[in-house]
């Protein structure tokens, strides 16, 4: 069995286990056990994936195909061993599934069941064996399990066990979920869990092999994080699809060199999750949605895009600011837990991705001044220093104490401080830039009347997010005359 086929199979089996954990709605353990038999010729690796979630109905295996049918039986015989039981069952059921069998009725063979002992419990284990070395597989599965932790799935612990059977004392056991990251209360939303998980993943694992990683940035203060979530209208079948997007901008100190967390990289790797599991590849519709966004209206130029060998989308930027790196994470799932479907996603995925990413960008623009400004806003903002200097000069040149007092009140300055060098100019400049950046966040149809320059600061808290996915931000930004 080719290593890529083994990985694909593991991804599917882990995704099924996660859904069974979600269906159970109880505390659940997901275990991945790798056993190496290097003394055999050829060497064999046994992979077992188990969970303590709801018992399997076997429906998830009905449409499951094996893309590597051309691989000879010398590498893998195509057999899966399945053991499963539900709380209501009195027996533990065993099956053998031949994924290379083309006739559906002969693929699944029921084996003798055993009586359940020790009370009621539920769970499923699926195992298979493949030829080859275990080292590369362990490295891959460890990284894959760490990506699962990004989602911070409530009530699910992930366990990874590696055993070398020729050495009984050689056993590696790691509870991935128990001790890593910040524990979140059950009331926290999924998108908040995803946001927290992405932050921790970047801080801990994004550049784990780089010894200088911790000196690049060791806290969240170097991360600018925005999130967005959208969903389809709930249908009668309760298959409401949700799309979450998290965008993280990392700004490392300019004193760092190019080896510091891809500080000089102009690429963005897009992590894609589907139904609470890392996806083997990003859907074409989602990739098209990312590339169809008018990135230039956010001050970026997308130079190129492709899908790497791991199925991740890679975006290459032409003008990403120096010492800045951007990560994008997408998660598509159904509100009601269900076994993942094998068919291609519909066009609704494209619209959901596009809107969720835009909401994440809007969130960043709202939280962090000067982020994702359009070229037009940047151009107008460049006039702010001269304009503020001129207005400050007019105020300070007046001998009318009442006028100067009213100006101080508008600028929220102490009247005694209005004569302090640079104080008035700095305050006016901040007000001008704030209005420009706030107006740049608004949809085009809301830009007919620019806000008053010295209006109460509460205006910055208004929600200007676009509720319609049809608009694209363009060049109709605020002008000097608006100010």
List, for residues 440-455, the tens digit of each pLDDT value.
Answer: 876 655 455 555 555 4
User: Residues 171-188: what's their mean pLDDT?
Assistant: 64
pLDDT in tens, 306-356: 988 777 899 999 888 877 889 999 999 988 877 655 444 445 678 899 999
Please tell me the pTM assigned to this model: 0.81
Cα–Cα distance for residue pair 173/155, rounded to 1 Å:
20
pLDDT confidence bin for 125, thresholds 50/70/90 = very high
CA–CA distances in Å: residue 459 to residues 372, 394, 431: 20, 26, 12
Nearest to 265, CA basis, from 216, 204, 197, 219: 216
What is the topology classification, in CATH, of domain 3-175?
Heat Shock Protein 90 (3.30.565)
The domain over range 190-367 is classified in CATH as 1.10.15: no
Whether 388 shows a pLDDT value over 80: the answer reads: yes
b (16+ CB within 10 A) / e for 417-456: ebeeeebbbebbbebbbbbbbbbbbbbeeebeebbeeeee
CA–CA distances in Å: residue 61 to residues 32, 118, 332, 471: 19, 28, 21, 42
Cα–Cα distance for residue pair 443/441, rounded to 1 Å:
7
CA 112 to chain centre: 43
Is 421 or 257 the better-scoring residue by pLDDT?
421
Residue with the two structure tokens 């068919």: 343
User: Residues 278-307: what's their mean pLDDT?
Assistant: 91
Phi first, then psi, for residue 225 (nearest 5°) are -125, 130
């Amino acid at each position: 069995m080719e290593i890529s086929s083994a990985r694909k199979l593991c991804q599917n089996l882990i995704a099924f286990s996660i859904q069974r954990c979600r269906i159970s709605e109880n505390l659940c353990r997901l275990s991945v056990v790798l056993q190496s038999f290097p003394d055999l010729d050829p060497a064999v690796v046994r992979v077992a994936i188990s969970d303590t979630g709801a018992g399997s109905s076997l429906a998830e295996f009905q449409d499951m195909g094996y893309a590597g049918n051309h691989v000879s039986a010398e590498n893998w015989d195509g057999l899966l061993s399945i053991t499963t039981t539900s709380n209501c069952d009195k027996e533990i059921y065993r099956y053998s599934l031949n994924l290379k069998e083309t006739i559906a009725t002969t693929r699944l063979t029921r084996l003798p069941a055993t009586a359940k002992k020790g009370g009621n419990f539920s769970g499923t284990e699926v195992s298979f064996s493949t030829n080859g070395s275990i080292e590369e597989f362990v490295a891959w599965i460890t990284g894959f399990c760490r990506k699962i932790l990004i989602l911070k799935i409530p009530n699910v612990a992930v366990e990874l066990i590696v055993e070398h059977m020729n050495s009984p004392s050689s056993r590696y056991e790691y509870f991935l979920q128990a001790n890593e990251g910040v524990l979140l209360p059950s009331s926290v939303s999924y998108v908040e869990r995803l946001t927290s998980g992405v932050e921790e993943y970047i801080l801990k694992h994004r550049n784990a092999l780089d010894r200088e990683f911790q000196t690049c940035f060791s806290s969240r203060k170097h991360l600018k994080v925005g999130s967005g979530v959208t969903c389809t209208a709930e249908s009668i079948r309760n298959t409401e699809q949700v799309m979450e997007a998290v965008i993280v901008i990392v700004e490392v100190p300019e004193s760092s060199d190019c080896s510091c967390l891809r500080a000089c990289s102009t690429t963005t790797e897009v992590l894609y999750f589907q139904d609470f599991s890392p996806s083997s590849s990003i859907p074409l519709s989602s990739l098209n949605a990312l590339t169809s966004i008018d990135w230039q209206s956010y001050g970026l130029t997308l130079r190129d895009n492709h899908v790497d060998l791991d199925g991740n989308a890679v975006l290459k930027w032409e003008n990403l600011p120096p010492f800045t790196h951007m990560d994008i994470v997408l998660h598509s799932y159904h509100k009601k837990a269900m076994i993942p479907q094998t068919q291609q996603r519909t066009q609704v995925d494209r619209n959901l991705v596009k809107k969720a990413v835009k909401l994440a960008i809007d969130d960043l623009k709202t939280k962090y001044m000067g982020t994702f400004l359009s070229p037009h806003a940047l151009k107008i903002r460049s006039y702010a220093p001269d304009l503020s200097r001129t207005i400050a000069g007019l105020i300070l040149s007046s001998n009318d104490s009442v006028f100067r007092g009213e100006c101080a009140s508008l600028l929220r300055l102490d009247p005694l401080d209005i004569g302090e060098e640079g104080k008035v100019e700095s305050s006016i400049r901040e007000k001008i830039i704030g209005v420009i950046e706030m107006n740049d966040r608004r949809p085009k149809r809301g830009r007919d009347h620019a806000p008053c320059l010295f209006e109460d600061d509460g205006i910055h808290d208004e929600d200007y997010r676009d509720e319609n996915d049809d608009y694209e931000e363009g060049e109709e930004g605020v002008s000097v005359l608006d100010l």
